[in-house]
Amino acid sequence: MILTTTENISGKSFETLGLVKGSTIQTVNAIRDIGAGLKTLVGGELTKYNDMMNKARALATKRMVEEAESMGADAIVCVRYSSASIMQSAAEVMAYGTAVKFR
């Protein structure tokens, strides 16, 4: 499956199949959350949250691709990601784009 943030794929013509999306809500465990809270006192990167968000993006992308495959898509164009805080220490990540079929 080809994924691109652009509207076109060089050398390819295609028909639009429709919107596809994938999402997940992730959190870190309470002990890591307390540790991250303490880290804000001294500053620095919150690596456990980075790991959580990387896993969330990968899972959201996987779910988006699965939806596109079920439609018979060859690619997804205009791929975008968004995230939102759902509650303290929990975030939703959504991947979305337009499924297309090559001609």
Tens-digit pLDDT profile for residues 41-72: 666 777 888 888 999 999 999 999 999 999 99
Q: Cβ(72)–Cβ(83) under 8 Å?
A: no
Spatial distance between the Cα atoms of 37 and 89, rounded to a whole number of angstroms: 10
CATH number of the domain bearing residue 89? 3.30.110.70
Total tally of structural domains belonging to the chain: 1
Taking residues 17-29, report their average pLDDT.
92
Taking residues 26-33, report their average pLDDT.
66
Sorted by sequence, the CB contacts under 8 Å of residue 61 that are 6+ apart come out as: 3, 22, 95
Taking residues 63-90, report their average pLDDT.
94
| Residue keyed to tokens 């509207």 | 7
pLDDT at 86 over 90: no
The predicted pLDDT at position 103 comes to 95
Average pLDDT, the chain: 89
Confidence band for 28, pLDDT divided at 50, 70 and 90: confident
Structural domain harbouring 67:
2-102
Residue, of 35 and 41, whose pLDDT is higher: 41
